[in-house]
């Protein structure tokens, strides 16, 4: 972590603030009297003072912990942990949440926070004499926050619609909002959706239609954040919540658990009890007119997925003595929903879809295993969109394309094997690590169409990046293909042992 004062102002300002605020320069450094606490002021917010947390901690003699991966910093103030996360206006103080007038910004391995608002948050926790420098009133912060109210409104309508399998909230905006600027929280029967940089129109209509679990909508504007509060009829599982952005609409979907009919649940329960993992469904991704991703050397994803699947089939049959059903055994095109339909009718007990990842950057590499669920990261969402794009080949044949929101709700309602799938994905990552050894990109969840509807634990393995020259070559080699097949075979063995032992 580098302290602000060690860096030249210009070098420091430019990249960080172009990133954070567009081109709203200039910003200016101020050096304040005897405390030597350096702050930056931002023209954008009427010279509201920002401070690098690292600098503030040093100034107050506080210990810190910083995670570059999570872009999160913890300040230890007295006995209290104060957690700040980049791009987030919420500060966690032990298990309490507080809100800053503006989000914290990431800048060069440090986080910037509005100085006075943040100082007020930690002042009651501080042991020792509070420095004169920080005794300024928070008036400046609130003035700046209020001044933002002169911005033009960009949130114009909120519509809540009850659907058969859940509730869909459409927040109509006049500009797209990055996913990271939308956050949610639940508290005492209310769901709060915070939109950083939002400004709600004073006459924005709100409506609730159909049988919805949302009973009331209340918009509140505080500084740079629009907070939409939704009173809920009953508690929902926060993990099932999904947010997606479609152009100028922010979609928030709240699936209702009861959409899975009780008879189906009973059957599932019975199935679970007599569950024996005896049939494995292998789904080599893509095929026929859908080549999948194509590597810089011309390797097609559809070829690799089939080659690995055929090797894996042999291994499973030979070493585990289990039945293997393949969704395709040659270069043919098969629709996504047909793949899971085949798996279900074959009474498969595990569904494994094999794929190769691709990225615009040729440098990106490694293995990721996905299971079905609402995407938690932008990267996971991108990969899902890429793999789902096969639907465009289906439409040539008159296949049905569900709208994305419908898809998201269905996906979550049907995912009765969430925990098993997650556990299985974890095992696969471990085995891939130890037997293939490509960089570990971890387990992720996302809404893959091919996984929707599979009535069994299901995963999608992105074995490696075909867009990376080195991994493209590895994927094409029989030796690596065999290692991957072996890793997945081992995973099935481990999963079977664990699952059948009684979970
Ligand atoms: Zn694929």
If you classify domain 152-259 with CATH, what class do you get? mainly beta
Residue 479 has pLDDT above 70, yes or no: yes
pLDDT of residue 331: 96
pLDDT of residue 70: 77
CATH architecture for segment(s) 262-500: 3-Layer(aba) Sandwich (3.40)
Residue 264 has pLDDT above 50, yes or no: yes
Cα 355 to middle of ligand 1, angstroms: 4
Cα 293 to middle of ligand 1, angstroms: 7
Cα 357 to middle of ligand 1, angstroms: 7
For the chain, give every residue range classified as CATH 3.30.457.10: 4-148
pLDDT tens for 34-59 read 357 877 765 455 456 788 898 899 88
Cα 335 to middle of ligand 1, angstroms: 13
- Kindly report which listed range (38-52, 65-79, 121-135) carries the lowest average pLDDT score: 38-52
Q: Which helix (H) or strand (E) holds 55?
A: helix 53-60
Q: If pLDDT is split at 50, 70 and 90, which confidence band does 327 have?
A: very high
Cα 278 to middle of ligand 1, angstroms: 26
Segments of 133-286 assigned E as strands: 155-163, 166-173, 182-187, 190-196, 206-209, 214-222, 225-232, 242-246, 249-255, 279-284
Cα 292 to middle of ligand 1, angstroms: 5
Report the percent of the chain where pLDDT is more than 70.
Answer: 74
Cα 489 to middle of ligand 1, angstroms: 20
140 or 28, greater pLDDT: 140
Q: If pLDDT is split at 50, 70 and 90, which confidence band does 104 have?
A: confident
Q: Angle 122-126-130 (CA atoms, 0-180°, nearest 5)?
A: 95
Residue 21 has pLDDT above 70, yes or no: no
For the chain, give every residue range classified as CATH 3.40.630.40: 262-500
Q: Angle 350-351-357 (CA atoms, 0-180°, nearest 5)?
A: 140
Single pTM value for the model: 0.48
pLDDT tens for 207-222 read 998 888 898 998 888 7
- Distance, in Å, from the CA atom of 292 to the CA atom of 303, rounded to the nearest integer, reads 9
pLDDT of residue 76: 92
Fold designation for 4-148: Copper Amine Oxidase; Chain A, domain 1 (3.30.457)
Residue 448 has pLDDT above 80, yes or no: no
Query: How confident is the model over 362-386, as a mean pLDDT?
Result: 79
Whole-angstrom CA distances from 442 to 152, 317, 437, 460 are: 42, 28, 13, 12
83 near 124, Cβ under 8 Å? no
Cα 388 to middle of ligand 1, angstroms: 8
- Kindly report which listed range (185-199, 413-427, 429-443) carries the lowest average pLDDT score: 413-427
492 or 111, greater pLDDT: 492
């Amino acid at each position: 972590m580098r302290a602000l004062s060690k860096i030249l102002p210009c070098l420091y300002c430019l990249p960080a603030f172009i990133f954070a605020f567009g081109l709203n320069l200039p910003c200016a450094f101020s050096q304040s009297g005897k405390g030597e606490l350096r702050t930056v002021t931002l023209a954008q917010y009427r010279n509201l003072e920002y401070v690098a947390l690292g600098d503030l901690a040093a100034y107050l003699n506080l210990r810190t912990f910083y995670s570059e991966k999570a872009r999160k910093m913890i300040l230890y103030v007295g006995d209290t942990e104060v957690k700040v996360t980049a791009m987030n206006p919420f500060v966690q103080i032990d298990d309490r949440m507080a809100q800053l007038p503006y989000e914290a910004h990431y800048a060069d391995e440090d986080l910037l926070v509005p100085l006075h608002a943040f100082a007020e948050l930690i002042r009651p926790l501080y042991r020792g004499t509070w420095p004169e420098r920080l005794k300024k009133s928070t008036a400046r912060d609130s003035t700046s926050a209020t001044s933002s109210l002169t911005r033009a409104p960009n949130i114009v309508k909120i519509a809540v619609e009850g659907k058969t399998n859940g509730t869909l909230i459409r927040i109509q905006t006049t500009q797209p909002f990055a996913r990271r600027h939308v956050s949610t929280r639940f508290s005492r029967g209310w769901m709060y959706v915070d939109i950083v940089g939002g400004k709600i129109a004073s006459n924005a209509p709100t409506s609730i239609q159909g049988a919805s679990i949302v009973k009331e909508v209340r918009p509140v504007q505080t500084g740079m954040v629009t907070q939409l509060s939704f009173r809920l009829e009953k508690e929902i599982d926060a993990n099932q919540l999904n947010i997606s952005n479609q152009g100028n609409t922010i979609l928030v979907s709240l699936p209702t658990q009861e959409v899975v009919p009780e008879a189906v649940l009973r059957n599932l329960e019975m199935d679970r009890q007599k569950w024996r993992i005896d049939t494995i469904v292998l789904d080599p991704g893509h095929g026929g007119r859908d080549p999948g991703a194509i590597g810089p050397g011309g390797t097609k994803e559809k070829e690799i997925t089939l080659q690995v699947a055929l090797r894996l089939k042999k291994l499973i049959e030979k070493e585990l003595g289990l039945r293997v059903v393949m969704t395709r055994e040659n270069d043919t095109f098969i629709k996504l929903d047909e793949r899971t339909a085949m798996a279900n009718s074959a009474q498969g007990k595990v569904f494994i879809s094999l794929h190769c990842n691709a990225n615009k950057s040729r440098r990106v590499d490694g293995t990721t295993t996905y299971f079905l669920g609402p995407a938690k990261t932008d990267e996971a969402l991108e990969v899902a969109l890429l793999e789902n794009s096969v639907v465009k080949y289906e439409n040539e044949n008159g296949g049905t394309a569900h709208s994305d929101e419908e898809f998201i709700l269905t996906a979550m309602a049907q995912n009765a094997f969430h925990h098993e799938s997650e556990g299985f994905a974890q095992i696969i990552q471990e085995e891939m690590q130890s037997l293939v050894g490509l960089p570990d990109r971890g387990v992720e969840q996302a809404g893959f169409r091919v996984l929707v509807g599979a009535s069994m634990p299901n995963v999608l393995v992105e074995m490696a990046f075909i867009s990376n020259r080195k991994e493209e070559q590895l994927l094409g080699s029989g030796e690596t293909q065999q290692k991957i097949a072996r890793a997945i075979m081992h995973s099935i063995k481990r999963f079977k042992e664990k699952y059948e032992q009684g979970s």
